[in-house]
Amino acid sequence: MRRANMLVHDTLQILAQMAAPGVATNDLDRRAREMLAQHNAQPAFLGYPSSSRSVAPFPGVICASRNEEIVHGIPNDEPLRAGDILSIDFGTCLDGYYGDSAITVAIGEIGAEAKRLMDVTKQSLEDAISQCVEGNRIGDVSYAVQSRAEKAGYGVVREFVGHGIGRNMHEAPQVPNFGRPNQGRVLKAGMVIAIEPMITEGSFETKILGDGWTAVTKDGKLAAHFEHSVAITKRGPFVLSRP
């Protein structure tokens, strides 16, 4: 899992450097496909089935979600613009094990409020990681995200949550970004969870666009998304998706 997650990390770093005004998210998707091919790895998102029979499987290798788009944005040919923020979610399967991580990046110069949203979202993930110790519960992880975000005046998305990860992309337990301390499943050494705060500038309410995949803020305000895959160990949290 460490190898799979480091491939995810390395790919996201390359995509973050590419993401600039005039670049399309399809360009990022193509680069991610090249990275997978170079390492003989499989995409985790491409062809992922929808919960609705009327919606086609996910068509991208990455999820590329811009501005008010929260998660599951489909890569396209529309050029990025200065002032956008872009969430890039990427997953892979390498030698039978999955890796999953996400970042939000600034496209050119962005406003102070967008930067603050990104900073708070990223810090909420760090707060959650600090709770990934044996004997704590999922609720401790969830509350760490929620408390940081809501104290800053932001919304915490309810409809989409983190998850266990291992030989499958999505495994038990679910890892919400909201909850109460001392509640939920006990964390034990050997577990790996993908923690992914999805934080909104305004209301936490969401809606799905006509493509059946892209989740956006209902009020049209900005959203940010960061994610790491974290192993619970006897020595504390081990973040598999960063050096």
Give residue-wise pLDDT tens across range 169-228.
Answer: 999 999 999 999 999 999 999 999 999 999 999 999 999 999 999 999 999 999 999 999
The length of the chain is 243
For the full predicted model, state whether its pTM sits above 0.75: yes
Question: Tell me, what's the pLDDT at 23?
Answer: 98
> Which tens digits make up the pLDDT trace of 4-14?
999 999 999 99
Question: Tell me, what's the pLDDT at 213?
Answer: 98
> Which tens digits make up the pLDDT trace of 78-106?
999 999 999 999 999 999 999 999 999 99
Rounded Cα distance between 101 and 12, Å, is 8
Q: What residues make up the domain containing 112? A: 2-239
Number of domains in the chain: 1
DSSP 26-48: HHHHHHHHHHHHHTT-EESSTTP
> Which tens digits make up the pLDDT trace of 16-73?
999 999 999 999 999 999 999 999 999 999 999 999 999 999 999 999 999 999 999 9
Domain holding 97: CATH number?
Answer: 3.90.230.10
Question: Tell me, what's the pLDDT at 89?
Answer: 98
Is 213 exposed, middle or buried, given 0-12, 13-18 or 19+ CB atoms closer than 10 A? buried
Rounded Cα distance between 136 and 143, Å, is 12
Structure tokens at 138: 């999922």
